[in-house]
Structure 1
């Protein structure tokens, strides 16, 4: 079998540029990370990895060229190398594994050689950590869930659900954008984002030649707060994603004084045919909302309308939005909000207890990114920022404002909240990732 050359998608072309522009420190890495407990059959694990890799053409794709000459090369069936590291002799294997994982996730993947890098750390005879680390050009958050599910099915010897190849999605996307659909999308966004401006935040000009860095401040929204916000969202016929995004708008308004706010987010961008397609299908969407007054519920309704409109028109690639910000070094994706899909935290497959790990300390390619991570009944709130562009004090004040808004909104909604103790449904309504 020979290597097949295909045209990269619009999104892959953008990520290739970003990889050269700000791909340091693993900012474009997208991992599946899990803990394996039980007697590990290494041969069975390798066979499962081979099956998953060969099932999805994106995982066998490398890239060459650049710009308009960028090419995607799909390789025939392969058996990807698995780097094995034995940490069982270390004084504290768990702490050592944490450092090793952080180092792996912070190391750039060169997609010209292989877009997938797999590592297995042995902490004890019956305790391992597996990292299926991928370049974002071949995966997204939704795809990571598919890969994890397929890996578990392969370990159990079960068949996987049918899938369409990524190259088909790329072809369909190009055809749609070149036709009437593309014109309608461009017209919608041209009107929706007319005269849009970015939130007036205290962002400094980028330092020429400065190495990119990512800092993080964090908080955990407790279970009662999450339950109350979820109940409020349901009363407004909305979702937890919208409620948490509304709080972000409110926090940005609090620190900037602006009422016309634009925040970028990622959507899964998948129809029924591609629900199990692995690749970079996600699209970034610019969500513009105007907040008048101080009523959180009214703001939630306004945000819900913005999100629903954007979801219907999400298929126009972000870099094709008809917007000109003029002479500025700011970008449309300077300010980002994401809510991670509620993952399957633990399962059993191949005689192993498998736990999904969601690391916090990862790099980001954005200047200011707030990520909400459902964690059973709570939500971890992670605010990533580029210290070259923002002062730590600003990031801390923004997070503090966000937390205060969430707790205040939950407190106001509490008298109407069902206290029966049912776990809230943390739905994202078509949102992707990361």
Structure 2
């Protein structure tokens, strides 16, 4: 069981940055990180509420709020309290699925005030035996990896509620223990080697310019949706294997290729979130552990795509081995002196989820929403599904126009389709 009394812990370096971004870019739900699932079967809401109580009780982050600001920012871990589930019955609507989509979009676009609570829990009843659950969690206390842990824990507790003897996995460190370790590692020089890597890797970096509007307007996240079919994804997997790498690397290489076409630059930097869970103690820690790294690669337009994949592979592996240095401490001041930010251009590939499972006599299916906002200028997100990938290009409509974003996304998909059939193509011929 969790602690009964409140206690304060010092936030991590990453949380301090997110708190600042929450005030600057959090208005459209850009810092919401939801865990959503569809539940089919005879759902007892009281049993679900009890299961959620158990899950939230296991992880201090999920019981945290934030006070103060700047150097005075504090994370307050609250005692255990019954979860408040907002239940909405959509089953009598003329179009329950349409009503659900509208309700989910509204929920995900609504900001969470982390000073009052970091989780908002909603359950929509679509039919008597069909519900959708959304734990909308502030990014300050979770990340994509953590949402997977929350889902696994929920399934395990629901299974136990039906009489099974399912054991709950040891959560390992609580987030406060990770934050303490990170501070000691930085102060004691444990991350000195990683810091040296980034000083060398990012030396002389200049950021690729995006074709921004001459007169930027108010920031607003917009989205272009497209996709890669199963045949294209299968072909890209084979291309990645041929380059001794992974699908993530091949998809990132395609992003570099389109950015080269867009900016004319061969020295390119793309930011990406890494899980930052190399220590075994944090494999099942719920909290904001993910760390932004800057993946810098030099692209030769005359080189074949496979050669570009190999160059990107070196970059990706270097980022993985040195992902422990908080983004704020990377040597980026010179690169950002012209006004841009190293995280203006972002690439993410979401982990392939467990699509469906059974627990406590219920069928549960993970849902990966695309309605969450983005806090970046241009963010390409690859979302796996059973028939390929959803390709989501988020962009700041205040600085980038829709025509550019749509053409960029279309060019990316066309390049992926070409490469999946002929990896010998040079970068200059890919897009």
Q: If the length of structure 1 is used for normalisation, what is the TM-score?
A: 0.93
**What is the aligned partner in structure 1 of residue 391 from structure 2?**
381
User: Can you list the C-alpha shifts for 1:143-171, whole angstroms capped at 9, x where unaligned?
Assistant: 00000000011110122110121111100
Q: Any unmatched runs of 5+ in structure 1?
A: 415-434
Counterpart of 2:200?
Answer: 191
Q: Deviations over 1:240-280 (max 9, x none)?
A: 10010000000101111111000000000002111100000
Whether the aligned pair in 2 keeps the contact of 1:140 and 1:281 (CA below 8 Å) is: yes
Aligned mate of 1:313, from 304, 318, 322:
322
What secondary structure does 1:107 align onto? coil
Output aligned runs, 1:315-334, within 5 Å: 315-324=324-333, 325=335, 327-334=337-344
1:284 matched to 2:298: no
Please provide the CA RMSD for this pair. 1.4
Matching of residues 74-113 of structure 1 within 5 Å: 74-113=77-116
**What is the distance in 1 between the residues matched to 2:297 and 2:364?**
41
1:103 and 1:82 map into 2 onto residues whose CA distance is 17
1:200-226 C-alpha deviation (Å, 9 max, x unpaired): 221236747x2x311111221111111
The answer to whether structure 1 residue 181 and structure 2 residue 190 are counterparts is yes
Q: Which residue of 1 aligns with 2:39?
A: 36
Match of residue 368, structure 2, among 345, 348, 358: 358
Residue 224 of structure 2 is aligned to residue 246 of structure 1: no
**Aligned equivalents of 2:41, 2:196: Cα separation in 1:** 56
Unaligned runs of 5+ in 2: 161-165, 425-431
| Residues 273 and 22 of structure 1, relative CA distance in 2, 3 Å threshold | same
> How many residues in Structure 1 have an aligned counterpart in Structure 2?
412
Whole-Å separation in 1 of the counterparts to 2:51 and 2:225: 36
Q: Map 1:222-237; keep pairs closer than 5 Å.
A: 222-237=229-244
Give 1:22-421 correspondences, 5 Å limit.
Answer: 22-157=25-160, 158-163=166-171, 164-204=173-213, 207=216, 210=218, 212-270=219-277, 271-292=279-300, 293-324=302-333, 325=335, 327-413=337-423
- Verify the 8 A CA contact 2:350 2:382 in the aligned structure 1: yes
Please tell me whether the aligned partners of residues 336 and 370 of structure 1 are also in contact (alpha carbons under 8 angstroms).
Answer: yes
Quote the Cα distance in structure 2 between the aligned partners of 1:51 and 1:40.
Answer: 17
Deviations 1:150-202 (A, max 9, x none): 00111101221101211111001111111222332222211110111111221
In structure 1, C-alpha distance between the alignment counterparts of 2:238 and 2:88, rounded to whole Å: 46
Does the aligned pair in 1 maintain the 2:209–2:263 contact within 8 Å? yes
Higher mean displacement: 189-198 or 298-307: 189-198
Structure-2 separation of matches of 1:36 and 1:183: 47
